[in-house]
Amino acid sequence: MLITATNINKSFGEEVVLRDVRMTIDEKGRYGLIGINGAGKSTLLKIITDELSFESGDLVKKPNLTFGYLAQNNGLERDCSIITEMRKVFADVLTAEADMRKLELEMAQITDHNSAEYRQISARYAHKQAFFDSRDGYNIDVKIKTILNGMGFGDKDMDTIISALSGGEKTRLAMAKLLLEEPELLILDEPTNHLDFKTLRWLEEYLASYNGAILAVSHDRYFLDKIVTHIYEVERGRLYSYPGNYSKYLTQKAERRAREQKEYEMQQVEIAKMQEYIDKNMARASTSNSAKSRLKALESMDILEKPDGDLKTMKLHFEHTKDPYKDVLKTNDLEIVVGEPPVTICQNINLDIKRGEKIAVIGENGIGKSSFLKIIQGLIPKGNGSFEWGKNVTISYYEQENLNLNQDKIALDELWDRFPHIPETEIRKVLGNVLLTQDDVYKPVNVISGGERAKLAFCIIMLEKSNVLILDEPTNHLDLVSKEILEAAMSEFGGTIIFVSHDRYLLNKVPDKIVEITKNGAEVYSGNYDYYREVLEKRAKLQAEEQSRLAFEKAQSNKKSDSSGGFRSKEQRRADAQRKNRIRELEKLIEETEAQIAVLEEEMAREEVFTDYKLMAEKCNMTDTLRQNLEEYFEEWALLGE
């Protein structure tokens, strides 16, 4: 048990933020902490990390508990290089290594190994060596390289100064440093922000085998499904506990609400019957004792509170007024160009999209996904190639940052001016459906939150009633509940959807096809995100097996031929034969071991290996074992050679 919180209460002035919170964090547990914005998640984390006090309750922690919590300012030294900042994690181990080198020099200068001075230095060296070995000092650089490669710094110069990194890179680097520290409790606040698919997969594999406990605040539903085994939800100041991942939480929460409502209603019926009996029989001499007994039972009853209803959520429903022809969009060798002068970042995009299909567009950051959506709408120029929309196609476009909204208008006018024929009451109703009500509708678009701007954009799409929706990162500014609602609306829409998203949960639930854009074109996968991943993993496995086979065959072909010599006498020949046979065996073992190490090192340099934490760790362990064997072979070979 790492942490136990019992009946924790926290208020800010008259506002109660946390009420009777109970939480347990076990060793190696995997916990997700969720709740709407402002629910109190950050407050709870700050209480756990001793950044905030609380009014009442108990918080018990394991003695000397180590935890890692990524601070808002990321805690990095701006003037340090990447490698220097990462090596700070192992400062005590590196100091021990430096001390060992000094002691080695001192011992080398003493010829009498039986002297008191030599024994004293040797004892100090052994102490340092034991500490160094216990902290796995020989693998520090391997650990740093593995984590940095996994977090997307494989192509980055390790001497790059941190101040030169982008905001997203600094966040990823701070995460890498936190992972290297390996605390007993790893507290992650939105860990999947700023990560591409490749880095996300690596992080999830790493965390799956992490040796400590994890507490993660996240809006990434796919991440919560893959990593956590217990969900804590903060709602209306209370903390609810659900064993299982995010998908199981959805089912359990619905069941809990239904059960609490039923229990409350049943108790209310029982109370009404008891009260009716008491009212009718209290005054009668023959039944007054029975009525008094019922009254006593009623007064001692533990009355259930009326369950809170569901929090207000937005309502989305996309519909279209006319159907297009079967062929909705065709592209022929389409080229994506950006900048001035134009630079080609992608070419040879060939797609054939049919009526009713739901197409998800994915690809590396900067490959031109958003530009593709704009090009097919004629919003920005294309390069070579062509695209053609089918007949009767009408398009609604959700822009990633909602820059197509008039930022200076109030929310009410931004919607009403687009649809002046619709009565104000109907416009307000539509806004109310996405929880834009009262004073919020009179705020300028540039003042309301990112989530509210997203909901205003959805209002426009609902009223346009187009048969093709083009959506660019539609879940970016939404909380978990709103994401679920948008996902349902997209799934139920009868028209065609072409959307770009990094939301893997959405990519699993909505699309019929995944289109991956690369610099050389677009590849279509007839399935959801998990299907796409399955195809890629099969390809990578076959490729790795083929490369490993070729590398091993190359190593085998470079083996040296053995040699033999002559002998003097029978006994000498026997002794020499045994010695030389063993030397030949050792030489063969050394050669084979070196070849095996070379193959492993070549494999560890490949992207599909160093981006796979489990596989990289396995290769590192195999290499360490082979190097130890090699050292023993060399020692015996040198001794026999003398």
| Mean pLDDT per 10-residue segment, the chain (642 residues) | 95 92 95 91 92 94 90 75 94 93 90 88 90 88 91 90 88 92 93 87 92 94 95 95 95 92 93 91 84 90 85 91 94 91 91 96 91 94 93 95 90 94 93 91 91 94 96 93 95 97 95 95 95 91 82 67 49 74 84 85 71 70 81 79 66
* 512 and 625, same domain (yes or no): no
Domain membership of residue 45 (yes or no) is no
Domain membership of residue 36 (yes or no) is no
* 602 and 575, same domain (yes or no): yes
What is the pLDDT at residue 612? 64
What is the pLDDT at residue 607? 67
For residue 120, give Cα distances in angstroms to 110, 111, 274.
12, 14, 87
Token readout for 177 is 């440093």
279 is in which domain, residue-wise? 251-300
Where in 122-252 does DSSP place strands (E)? 185-189, 213-217, 230-235, 238-243
What is the pLDDT at residue 196? 86
Domain membership of residue 85 (yes or no) is no
Which candidate, 600, 561, 583, places its Cα nearest to that of 634? 583
Confidence (pTM): 0.78
Please give the span between the terminal C-alpha atoms of the chain, in angstroms, as a whole number: 58
Token readout for 53 is 């006090």
Calculate the CA 150 to chain-centre distance: 12
Token readout for 167 is 């905001």
Q: CA 68, CA 66: separation in Å to the nearest integer? A: 7
Q: CA 428, CA 596: separation in Å to the nearest integer? A: 71
DSSP state of 89: G
* 543 and 409, same domain (yes or no): no
Where in 196-262 does DSSP place strands (E)? 213-217, 230-235, 238-243
Domain membership of residue 31 (yes or no) is no
CATH assignment of the domain containing 510: 3.40.50.300
* 469 and 355, same domain (yes or no): yes
> Last residue of some domain: 498, 527, 556?
527
Q: CA 250, CA 228: separation in Å to the nearest integer? A: 14
Cβ atoms of 300 and 271 within 8 Å: the answer is: no
What is the pLDDT at residue 624? 75
Which candidate, 636, 633, 630, 628, places its Cα nearest to that of 133? 628
What is the pLDDT at residue 139? 87
CB atoms within 10 A of CB 311: 11
Provide the domain count of the chain: 3
> Last residue of some domain: 527, 551, 576?
527
Domain membership of residue 637 (yes or no) is yes
* 517 and 590, same domain (yes or no): no
Check whether the bond before 341 is cis (ω within 30° of 0). Answer: yes
* 368 and 407, same domain (yes or no): yes
* 610 and 633, same domain (yes or no): yes
Cβ-Cβ contacts under 8 Å for 549 (sequence gap 6 or more): none
Beta-sheet strand order (sheet of 358-362): 395-398, 468-472, 496-500, 358-362, 513-518, 521-525
Which candidate, 360, 361, 358, places its Cα nearest to that of 346? 361
Calculate the CA 497 to chain-centre distance: 26
* 542 and 508, same domain (yes or no): no
- Type of residue at 451: G
**Beta-strand pair 67-69/185-189:** parallel
Domain membership of residue 457 (yes or no) is yes
> Last residue of some domain: 459, 492, 527?
527
Token readout for 35 is 């709740």
What is the pLDDT at residue 566? 44
What is the pLDDT at residue 565? 46
What is the chain's length?
642
* 570 and 445, same domain (yes or no): no
CB atoms within 10 A of CB 123: 10
DSSP state of 416: H
* 425 and 558, same domain (yes or no): no
* 432 and 338, same domain (yes or no): yes
Classify 306 in phi/psi space as left (phi over 0), alpha (psi -120 to 50) or beta. Answer: beta
Calculate the CA 233 to chain-centre distance: 18
Where in 209-266 does DSSP place strands (E)? 213-217, 230-235, 238-243
Which candidate, 262, 296, 261, 290, places its Cα nearest to that of 277? 290
Which candidate, 327, 464, 462, places its Cα nearest to that of 393? 327
Q: CA 436, CA 415: separation in Å to the nearest integer? A: 12
Where in 26-177 does DSSP place strands (E)? 30-34, 56-61, 67-69
Calculate the CA 502 to chain-centre distance: 11
> Percent helix, strand and coil across the chain, each rounded to 5?
50, 20, 35
Domain membership of residue 359 (yes or no) is yes
Domain membership of residue 626 (yes or no) is yes
Q: CA 548, CA 598: separation in Å to the nearest integer? A: 11
* 410 and 344, same domain (yes or no): yes
Q: CA 591, CA 595: separation in Å to the nearest integer? A: 6
35 has which bridge partners?
A: none
